[in-house]
Chains A and B, each alone.
Chain A
Amino acid sequence: MSAGYLLKRLLLAIPTLFGVLVVVFVLLRVVPGDPVTMMVGLTASEEDIARLRELYGFDKPIFTQFLIYLGDVLQGDLGVSITRKQEVLGLILGRLPVTLELSLFAMAVALLGGMMLGVLAVYRPGRGGELVADGFSGLGLAIPDFLWALMFILLFGVLIPLLPISGQIDPRLGFEPASGFYLFESLLIGEFAAFQSVLSHMVLPAVALAIPLAAIIARILKSSLQEVMTQDYILLARARGFSRLRIVLREALQNALIPTVTLSGVQFTFLVGGTVLIERIFSYPGLGNMAIEAVINRDIPLIQGIVLTFAVMFIALNLIIDSTYVLLNPRVRHG
């Protein structure tokens, strides 16, 4: 049954992907201005431009151009970056791990922080704990991640320079990873100096990304914990004289955890989307930073490639989250 549901989800992803391709294509082919003028030098003659136009297929009808684009993308050819003169796909694959690692770390921070706040709110309801937790999650929701990032830069860059505020690793370390997963790889091969450097560079951007999500998690957890706390077995445990902390942590949390984790999974995609600006602010060399650079340089093939990558990643993430949700909550299978 669940296999059938997942198959249906998988099949539905195909028209979505096709739609995404159409949108990406249309978005960047209607750019006012001429993509060719940007590619050539300023002294290019009319013939040069016409030749390039033909080379890139800009002279063909728009529908034919789309078919060519579709064919190229399906073969993994995302074109060549205008400013970097390298294959777009290669450029993206080089940066993607950086963004993924940052996002996952931020997610972990958000889960940890959000759960702590949620538990705090229920552990001390109506008193200091709940007020603090509610206050934090209210602020976390109202202040967008980029404002947190700016505050961190000021705070840590200027007032208490404890954590690095730009880059991914101290380049003096001479760490030469084989993959883009710096944190994972440095830990795996026991390069602890590099690990420490990567981790400390990651803290601020990750926390900035995590705060809004932590606020959401805190709220979800709080309401599901509150619901659980009124259940009979909890009342029973209370009657048996267990401490409130023990009840919240050992009995209630277990049951409130699943809905929290699955619901926050959906929010993970928003966190990934947030990396665009955060990476820019912290000069973090991920996909998002490259995206803004591409927009500034009007490097159309690169923008197209990055937007497409994010979209495909979102669709894949949503599929994964849906599947876990189905696996964890058998009730949905019939829905």
Chain B
Amino acid sequence: MADRRGALVSAASDARVLFGAAVLLALIVAAAAAPLLAPHDPLEQDLLASFLPPAFQAGADPVFPLGTDSLGRDLLSRLIYGARVALTVALVAASLAALLGTALGLIAGYFGGWVDAVISRLVDVWMAFPPVLLSIVLVAIIGAGLHSVIIAIVIIDWTRFCRVVRAEVLVQREQDYVASAVTIGLGRWRILWHEILPNLLPLLLVLITLEMGIAIIVEAILSFVGLSVSSDQATWGGLIQEGRLYIHQAWWIMVLPMACIIVSVLGLNALGDGLRRTLDPVMRR
């Protein structure tokens, strides 16, 4: 029975990974091929065709499969282009946060001593700020825009990587392979780079996947507060904010981007969790 349960769990985790991978793939395709997939220019407006419902409702215009927004722009196209923004923010912000956090985490964990003390204090200081408030204040200071959103996420979330990587390096440092590398006279940076880092990659992959989900949410929050990407570029959070005003007239403007965010984050979380289960030896046990 225990075996059957174990098999079930692993199958379920596989199903989750599959689901997550499918979502990520869909996001990537939508983002990369946005100009090909989108039936319209996401900026093209037609005030005469505003608030058209999606195709499955009465009064729809088949030219706009998911309906239009208050300015008569095609919602499907805006959602597809919104995926582009979401994915850009998610990928760039998560990678940069990973880069910064990992570098500091590696250094702190491996060198220890005062270096570790300084970096750990820095992490403590950072963790003391509520992320939502800090990101809103940061973007208000730097000025709205895609780059500000990314900068804010990196500035706030590098600590996630730093803490985990540092803890993991502390464990790895005591392993036999590191000791033997020291014995054969490899330099410290070399050990860090060639021996320890590769062992951290699976862990980093998991963290980055989860961070991508967080980044999508942060972008939505900032759009929602009105501080994200500022031009009339389509973003999911921006669409939610817009759709909120017309919920009685045109529920689709708010509900569809909400669904996009939820599915993306669900997918990325599932992928991250699934990867952790398969990659993390502790969890696998």
Contact = CB atoms under 8 A, between A and B. Distances in A.
Interface of A: 12, 15-16, 19-20, 23, 27-28, 30-32, 126, 138-139, 141-144, 146-147, 150-151, 154, 158, 269-270, 272-274, 276-277, 280, 288, 291-292, 295, 298, 303, 306-307, 310-312, 314-315
Contact of B262 (A147, A154, A270, A292): A147
Q: Is the interface of A mostly helix, strand, loop or mixed?
A: helix
The 9 closest A-B pairs by CB, nearest first: A273-B130, A19-B125, A142-B266, A311-B128, A142-B265, A16-B124, A314-B128, A144-B217, A276-B133
B169 interface: no
Contacts of A158: 247-248
B269 interface: yes
Contacts of B121: 12, 15-16, 19
A314 B129 contact: yes
A295 B137 contact: yes
A276 B141 contact: no
Given A20-B129, A138-B269, A147-B258, 18 more contacts: A19-B124, A19-B125, A28-B141, A31-B141, A143-B265, A144-B217, A144-B221, A147-B261, A147-B262, A154-B247, A276-B130, A276-B136, A277-B225, A291-B136, A295-B136, A310-B129, A311-B128, A314-B127
B141 A27 contact: yes
Q: Is the interface of B mostly helix, strand, loop or mixed?
A: helix
A138 B262 CA distance: 11
Contact of A291 (B8, B133, B265, B269): B133
Contacts of B138: 27
A287 B136 CA distance: 14
B221 A20 contact: no
Nearest to B121: A15
Nearest to A281: B224
B128 A20 contact: yes
A295 B124 contact: no
A175 to B, nearest CB: 29
Q: Which of B125, B130, B131, B270 counts the most A-chain CB atoms under 10 A from its CB?
A: B130
A146 B244 CA distance: 13
B269 A142 contact: yes
Given A19-B121, A31-B141, A276 B262 contact: no
A16 B128 contact: yes
Contacts of A16: 121, 124-125, 128
Contacts of B122: 19
Interface residues on B, range: 35 or more
B285 interface: no
A310 B137 CA distance: 13
A126 B12 CA distance: 11
Interface in B117-159: 121-122, 124-134, 136-138, 140-141, 143
B230 to A, nearest CB: 15
Contacts of B217: 144
B240 interface: yes
A311 B141 contact: no
A20 B247 CA distance: 41
A313 B216 CA distance: 27
Nearest to B143: A32
B5 interface: yes
14 contacts: A20-B125, A31-B141, A138-B269, A142-B269, A144-B221, A146-B221, A147-B262, A150-B244, A273-B131, A273-B133, A276-B132, A277-B221, A311-B129, A314-B128
Nearest to A143: B262
B220 interface: yes
A211 to B, nearest CB: 13
A333 B54 CA distance: 61
A144 B129 CA distance: 18
B196 to A, nearest CB: 23
Interface in B240-266: 240, 244, 247-248, 254, 258, 261-262, 265-266
Contacts of B254: 150
A303 B140 CA distance: 11
A307 B124 contact: no
B133 A307 contact: yes
